């Protein structure tokens, strides 16, 4: 893909009648950087440079659209292979232990998740990763969109990522996508206890020819499983998780309840705050008690 990107830059540059030095001046890089890009050597272009090249060459977003595929080449072979399988899959079954799966993340939530990487090299790299992640979500609205079944550990709902506004928006997104016929969302509650997939995520992909692959991932590792016997073992694990999870409609109620209870709007007082305000109002009204009190003591102020 880097070679294809470079060939496109070279063709657009020569069509525009520009030298490498002139294109470098227009994109604020040295001419040798343009040479590296056209030869697919050296560091891969950043998203910012792809946008600058697109604008300088009048490419109508062609280079920006190619960039995610170039960016992907920086990933390990097994990770790139999993991404390629995902783009072809007719069905995706996923268990998420810690965060909402990338396909269903809002942009603010994705930014908050990706910013936690201790190896992140600045804001530009963060922007690149967010752009790449958001770009992959287009598959869910395409003509060949896959069936998507997602099981969320209850921790995904209750662990705040970003601020409360980010979480509220993300949970609202889950409620919205779950209304789509090709998307199912379930929650695995804490009270189900331990299980075989604890500690990481699990994804099962069904490909157009009926074959299947599995992928497991933790905070600092990932493994692609292609051997049918091993894939079958992970399918059994996923089926057990799905059986233990709350049914879809009840899961949506859990998501909605968590959204309203844990991540209420900034202007809505908490339960403790509402109780305090109610007590103050009762004190000001001459000692009337809260509903449910055992007896009434006229004239006595509440503590």
Q: State yes or no: pLDDT of 146 exceeds 80.
A: yes
DSSP code, position 297: -
pLDDT band at 76 (very low <50, low <70, confident <90, very high): low
Angle between helix 164-177 and helix 107-114 axes, rounded to 10 deg: 120
Quick count: other Cβ atoms within 10 Å of Cβ 76? 10
Q: State yes or no: pLDDT of 300 exceeds 50.
A: no
**What average pLDDT does the chain have?**
83
pLDDT tens string 176-210: 999 999 999 999 999 888 888 887 899 999 999 99
In whole angstroms, how far apart are CA 219 and each of 9, 22, 158, 189, 215?
Answer: 37, 44, 19, 21, 14
- Contact at 8 Å (CB) between 5 and 45? yes
Predicted pLDDT of residue 196: 87
Give the residue carrying structure tokens 């007719």: 90
Would you give the end-to-end CA distance of the chain in angstroms? 71
Q: Is the dihedral of CA 66, 75, 92, 166 positive or negative?
A: negative
Q: State yes or no: pLDDT of 16 exceeds 50.
A: yes
pLDDT tens string 156-166: 999 999 999 99
What is the pLDDT averaged over residues 81-98? 92
Q: State yes or no: pLDDT of 299 exceeds 70.
A: no
In whole angstroms, how far apart are CA 158 and each of 4, 75, 262, 294, 298?
Answer: 44, 30, 7, 35, 43
- pTM for this entry: 0.68
């Amino acid at each position: 893909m880097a070679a294809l990107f470079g060939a496109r830059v070279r063709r657009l540059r020569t069509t525009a009648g520009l030298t490498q030095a002139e294109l470098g001046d227009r994109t604020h890089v040295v001419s040798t950087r343009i040479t590296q890009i056209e030869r697919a050597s050296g560091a891969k272009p950043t998203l910012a440079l792809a946008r600058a090249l697109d604008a300088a060459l009048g490419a109508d977003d062609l280079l920006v659209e190619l960039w995610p595929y170039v960016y992907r080449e920086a990933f390990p072979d097994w990770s790139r292979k999993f991404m390629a399988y995902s783009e072809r899959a007719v069905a995706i079954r996923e268990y998420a232990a810690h965060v909402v799966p990338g396909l269903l993340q809002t942009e603010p939530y994705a930014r908050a998740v990706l910013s936690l990487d201790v190896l992140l090299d600045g804001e530009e790299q963060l922007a690149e990763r967010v752009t790449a992640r958001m770009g992959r979500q287009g598959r869910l609205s395409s003509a060949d969109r896959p069936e998507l079944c997602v099981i969320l550990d209850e921790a995904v709902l209750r662990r705040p990522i970003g601020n409360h506004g980010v979480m509220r928006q993300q949970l609202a997104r889950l409620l919205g996508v779950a209304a789509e016929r090709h998307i199912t969302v379930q929650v695995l509650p804490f009270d189900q206890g331990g299980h075989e997939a604890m500690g990481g995520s699990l994804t099962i992909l069904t490909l157009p020819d009926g074959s299947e692959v599995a992928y497991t991932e933790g905070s600092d590792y990932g493994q692609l499983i292609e051997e049918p016997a091993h894939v079958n073992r992970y399918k059994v694990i996923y089926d057990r998780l799905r059986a233990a999870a709350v049914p879809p409609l009840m899961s949506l109620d859990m998501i909605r309840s968590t959204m309203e209870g844990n991540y209420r709007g900034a202007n809505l007082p908490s339960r403790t705050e509402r109780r305090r305000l109610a007590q103050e109002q009762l004190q000001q009204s001459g000692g009337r008690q809260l509903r449910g009190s055992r007896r009434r003591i006229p004239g006595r102020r509440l503590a």
